Amino acid sequence: MSKTSFKQDLDNIKDKWLLLSIGALLAAGLLTFIIVFSRTPGIKEFFIFKDLFNKALVIHVDLSQLYWFLAIGLFLTFKYLDNLEFISKFTFKIALASLLGLIISAFIPSTAILNNYIPVIDNLLFFLSLSVYLTIIVVSATYSFIQNQNIIQEKTDVFKSLLTSYNLILIIAFLNFVPALNVIKHQNVTLEFYEIFFWGFGHILQFAYVVLMVTAWLLILKKSKVRFALSDNALKIFSFFYVIIALYAIIVFANARIPVEMYKAHYTRHMIYGSSFLPIVFMFFLAFSLFDKKFYTKDRENRALLNCLIGSVILFAYGGYLGNNITVSNTVIPAHYHGSTVAVTIALIAITYLFLPKVGGGKINSRMAVWQPVIYATGQIIHITGLAISGGYGALRKTPDSIHGFSAKFWMGVMGMGGLITMIAGLMFLIICYKSITSPKRGKNG
């Protein structure tokens, strides 16, 4: 069989939204080199791109938290929900242009603003690119819900219910811009404008990401034919209740004149007590699956997926543990959310491994695919452990030059080692996807 060009191989992939999500994660991963090496003692002094730390951090966070997660969400939405073919095709090229525009915006002279959830770069191209992508998300979520409203009916497929819940939570997240703007207006917020503007939206967005993670966990169990004690109908009810929990945050509509501190505390408490509900329920019933003889088979394809499941669950639990130990604004905070959000990332890597062969790629069942999530999770555990402990020695978040004393430097060095391992695992993911996309025989080894 003659070799084809990589462009032709890409053309063979039937669903371009999956490719967009992979591209976003690849770009975010490349920026990790700048971020990690800019903070690692012994390397940062000689690293030529350290002045790009802030902008690289902004684009990395937005690509990995918005573009990667939400593109996978769009892929699953368009795959499982009905009557969305037109909007899927119409919005793809616009989303791709938005992704490229966001990356290019980092090289325009401007200021990086490191607010939480959605950090920004203060130039027109960045805001235009971000606004276009978020518009695609809210329009797709609203239209998909209008077309698919049977969220908890007994005959509704569990994945349709989960993804309808996901899109409902996205709509709720966008509604939270209204109280944010009211607080900004009535409290005359200026210095913290973007922090407050994205605060409620960003908090509720985490609920949507959790639904994507749980959807991935369930897909893994069903693909691996592992017994799961929680019925589909019960999970649909729990996911609907999770939507109600997410909706509760919008209670701040009733009091737009509350102080900024109370506004931020409201969403923080809401996420602490509400966002873990669905995954904790899922993990409780998942514990019974560990006794299933089929839980860890010799099939490489299933083992790769199950390793993603295990790594995701461990990181989500570890990230939650670190979150409960936050007392001041130091590196324990990024350690917490890196644990929680990379738990989502590993779950969505499983989505890629599961669906890439189904949309035209080669089967993903290599030894590298089996080990990649193990190395990724291990590297990330080392990374966030170094971050968290260095916070106890005074290392500040978002400030690479705040490291003083041997202990802080040692644990930031551990952080750097974990980050390097994670980057190696990210490179492995890229290689695995590349082999699947360029496989000369569709459905064979990836």
- Of the chain, the end-to-end C-alpha distance in Å amounts to 17
Domain extents in the chain: 1-80+82-147, 157-295, 304-446
Whether the pLDDT of residue 273 is over 80: the answer is yes
Using CB atoms within 10 A of its CB, is residue 347 exposed (0-12), middle (13-18) or buried (19+)? Answer: buried
Q: Considering only residues 141 and 323, tell me which one the structure prediction assigns the higher pLDDT.
A: 141
Given a cut of 60, whether residue 41 has pLDDT beyond it is: no
Q: Counting Cβ atoms within 10 Å, is residue 219 exposed (0-12), middle (13-18) or buried (19+)?
A: buried
- Identify the residue with better confidence: 326 or 272: 272
Give Cα separations from 344 to 65, 73, 206, 241, 386 (angstroms): 10, 12, 10, 21, 20
Q: What is the CA radius of gyration of the chain?
A: 21
pLDDT digits (tens, 9 = 90+) for 179-211: 999 999 888 888 899 999 999 999 999 999 999
- 36: pLDDT confidence band, cut at 50, 70 and 90? low
pLDDT bin (cut points 50, 70, 90) of residue 324 is: confident
Residue 329's nearest CA partner among 382, 378, 264 is: 264
Mean pLDDT, to the nearest integer, of 250-260?
80
Whether residue 427 has pLDDT greater than 50 = yes
Closest by alpha carbon to 167, among 209, 123, 218? 209
- For the stretch 15-34, pLDDT in tens is 889 999 999 988 888 887 77
Only one residue has tokens 């030529």, namely 48
| Percentage of the chain lying above the pLDDT 70 cut | 85
pLDDT of residue 393: 45
Per residue in 112-163, pLDDT (tens digit) is 998 888 999 999 999 999 999 999 999 999 999 998 877 767 678 999 999 9
- Tokens for 248, please give them: 């509760």
Mean pLDDT of 229-258: 90
pLDDT in tens, 347-390: 999 999 999 999 888 999 899 999 999 999 999 999 888 887 87
Check whether 252 has a pLDDT greater than 50: yes
Higher confidence at residue 132 or residue 37? 132
Q: According to the model, what pLDDT value does residue 339 have?
A: 83
* Rounded distance between C-alpha atoms, residue 246 and residue 399, angstroms: 32
Asked if residue 257 has pLDDT above 60, the reply is yes
pLDDT in tens, 87-116: 999 999 999 999 999 999 988 889 999 888
406 has pLDDT over 80: no
Residue 330 is predicted with a pLDDT of 59
The reported pLDDT for the residue numbered 443 is 45
pLDDT at 315: 94
Highest mean pLDDT, choosing among 54-63, 291-300, 368-377: 368-377
Q: Is the pLDDT of residue 400 over 50?
A: no
Give every CB contact of residue 375 below 8 A, 6+ residues apart in sequence. 421, 424, 425, 428
Q: Quick one: which of 24, 341, 74 has its CA closest to 210? A: 341
**How many other CB atoms are there within 10 angstroms of residue 8's CB atom?**
10
Average pLDDT, the chain: 85
Domain covering 304-446 assigned CATH 3.40.50 in the classification? no
DSSP assignment of 398-425 equals T-TT---SHHHHHHHHHHHHHHHHHHHH
Residue range 238-255: average pLDDT? Answer: 90
CB 285 within 8 A of CB 229: yes
The pLDDT assigned to 5 comes to 73
Pick the more confident residue, 221 or 292: 221
**pLDDT tens digits for range 159-175:** 999 999 999 999 999 99
The residue ranking higher by pLDDT, 155 or 328, is 155
**With 70 as the cut, is the pLDDT of residue 317 above it?**
yes
Model pLDDT, residue 408: 63
For residue 112, give the H/E element and its range: strand 112-113
pLDDT of 444: 45
Report the pLDDT value the prediction gives residue 128, as an integer from 0 to 100. 97
* 3-state class (DSSP) for residue 317: helix
Q: Is-contact 163 77, C-beta < 8 A? A: yes
pTM, two decimals, is 0.89
pLDDT at residue 403 tops 70: no
In the chain, % of residues over pLDDT 90:
54
Exposed, middle or buried, 251 (CB in 10 Å: 0-12/13-18/19+)?
A: exposed
Q: What pLDDT score was predicted for residue 391?
A: 57
Tokens at 300, concatenated: 């490489």
- Distance of alpha carbon 444 from alpha carbon 446, whole angstroms: 6
- In terms of Cβ atoms closer than 10 Å to its own Cβ (0-12, 13-18, 19+), residue 327 is exposed
Residue type, 177: F
Contact between 387 and 346 under an 8 Å Cβ cutoff? The reply is no
- Given a cut of 90, whether residue 235 has pLDDT beyond it is yes
Residue with more model confidence, 443 or 254? 254
